[in-house]
Amino acid sequence: MSRYESSSPTALIEEHFSSLRDPRAEHSIDHLLLDIIVITLCATICGANDWEAIAEYGRTKQEWLKTFLALPNGIPSHDTFARLFARLNPEELQCCFMSWMQAVHQVTNGELLNVDGKTLRGARVAGNNRSFIHMVSVWSATNRLVLGQRKVDEKSNEIRAIPELLKLLEIRGCLVSIDAMGCQTEIAKTIIEQGADYVLALKANQGNLYEDVTQLFDHARRQGWNQFGNQFHSTIDKGHGRLEIRRYAVMGNTEYLLGANKWSQLKSIGMVESERRLNGQISNVEKRYYLLSLECDVKRFANAVRNHWSIENQLHWVLDVSFQEDRWRSCQGYSAENLALIHHIGVNLLSHEKTTKIGIENKRLKAGWDNRYLETVLNCLSLAPS
């Protein structure tokens, strides 16, 4: 039987994290594993940004925490928090997290998923003062949720981590967008095998294929945008004397491209031309190219490209600015990647709390001031699946 009431603000967390194995010797356990995880999550949501702050939060809120946690020996010391998270198996913790997300988030047909990596600049690989830790995340741009993540020791290792991560997730019917690092035939194959589609940024490292695609679009563009017919779309954004014009175009007949046969279900190619004007003068023009497993659909292509960077704006920026993730200096054991996952849970919960119309940084403050509001945050993903 559970130690925690079904009405507890963390009942759903216990349901999905109860299978997590405790790495400590049984005879030396003074504080329950789930108690430590819940306190860490609550403290992180409420603004704690290091182990000392997490332990101090626990001591300050001990009476409230005792209403739903066991706390047989009070609040752990900051060293206890640090040692546990350094030893906790990150793959097991990730599986618990993904189980929770799959329980509360039902994938919708056409949902846009962004895949991108983020460097944890305060954390380095153990024993290597020069190597930072990178986390690759899958972000639902449609529903503003982190669905999964995986640690890589070097940015180049994202190529191996991305297919491994995608295989763990239910992505059938989704559209997966990845920047040029993920433009690899094996990643495209994995996405198709998982029943999803892809939009992959194409760069010069793809050799003949890149040259073929750029030449095709350059030739077509010289004949005028109208020659694309209904497979052309443009947008204009204005502000502060600047004008941004984006032109999107797609074309099919990819079977004639050099190397196209290596790409699973490659059906079309796309181009974005971004033109920036400042005070009426063109200041910059940039062209980007993409491989797509979609039939020609310029509106869907444009939406995928524009929303790919929501992973930067709504996840990575929040982690850097609101959670001050780069200030963490924890490098012991598995601390960095385990804390990254706790931060991702915090972002998911705070992003989906809709009763207060304030930014995430101020939501963290409010949660620290008001226990009832923190309960609302903790329960905001316990409703019916989105």
Q: Which tens digit of pLDDT belongs to each residue from 199-239? A: 999 988 888 999 999 999 998 888 888 888 889 999 998 87
Q: How confident is the model over 133-149, as pLDDT tens digits?
A: 888 999 999 999 999 99
Q: What's the confidence (pLDDT) of residue 25?
A: 85
Q: What's the confidence (pLDDT) of residue 385?
A: 40
Q: Is residue 70 part of a domain?
A: yes
**Could you say which of 266, 290, 316 is where a domain stops?**
316
Measured between alpha carbons, how far is residue 385 from residues 96, 100, 168, 250 in Å?
A: 17, 11, 19, 35
Collect contacts of 355-364 with beta carbons under 8 A, ≥24 apart.
Answer: 359/322, 360/318, 360/322, 361/321, 361/322, 364/45, 364/46, 364/47, 364/322
What does the alpha-carbon distance between residue 114 and residue 214 come to, in Å, rounded to a whole number?
A: 24
Whether residues 57 and 179 share a domain: the answer is no
Tokens representing 28 are: 């030396």
Whether residues 230 and 301 share a domain: the answer is yes
Whether residues 249 and 297 share a domain: the answer is yes
Q: Is residue 166 part of a domain?
A: yes
Whether residues 190 and 110 share a domain: the answer is yes
What does the alpha-carbon distance between residue 290 and residue 295 come to, in Å, rounded to a whole number?
A: 13
Q: Is residue 222 part of a domain?
A: yes
Q: What's the confidence (pLDDT) of residue 124?
A: 55
Whether residues 28 and 168 share a domain: the answer is no
Q: What's the confidence (pLDDT) of residue 127?
A: 52
What angle is formed at CA 24 by the lines to CA 324 and CA 344, rounded to 5 degrees? Answer: 25
Measured between alpha carbons, how far is residue 86 from residues 126, 267, 330 in Å?
A: 11, 46, 9
Q: Is residue 272 part of a domain?
A: yes
Residue labelled with tokens 């460097």: 119
pTM (predicted TM-score): 0.88
Q: How confident is the model over 307-316, as pLDDT tens digits?
A: 998 999 999 9
Whether residues 220 and 369 share a domain: the answer is no
What does the alpha-carbon distance between residue 10 and residue 4 come to, in Å, rounded to a whole number?
A: 8
Whether residues 112 and 73 share a domain: the answer is no
- Domain of residue 367 covers 11-88+353-379
Cα dihedral across residues 346, 352, 354, 360: positive or negative:
positive
Q: Is residue 322 part of a domain?
A: no
What angle is formed at CA 381 by the lines to CA 345 and CA 103, rounded to 5 degrees? Answer: 90
Please provide the size of the chain in residues: 386
User: For residues 134 and 152, is the Cβ–Cβ distance under 8 A?
Assistant: yes
**Could you say which of 316, 342, 370 is where a domain stops?**
316
Q: What's the confidence (pLDDT) of residue 193?
A: 97
Whether residues 70 and 117 share a domain: the answer is no
Q: Which amino acid is at 182?
A: G
Report how many domains make up the chain: 2
Whether residues 262 and 140 share a domain: the answer is yes
What does the alpha-carbon distance between residue 293 and residue 263 come to, in Å, rounded to a whole number?
A: 9
Give the other-Cβ count within 10 Å of 285's Cβ: 11
> In sequence order, which residues have a C-beta less than 8 Å from that of residue 121 and are 6 or more positions away?
132, 326
Low-confidence ranges of the chain (pLDDT < 50): 1-2, 4, 383-386
Whether residues 142 and 76 share a domain: the answer is no
Whether residues 205 and 308 share a domain: the answer is yes
Whether residues 155 and 217 share a domain: the answer is yes
Q: Is residue 255 part of a domain?
A: yes
Q: What's the confidence (pLDDT) of residue 228?
A: 87
**Could you say which of 316, 332, 366 is where a domain stops?**
316
Q: Is residue 324 part of a domain?
A: no
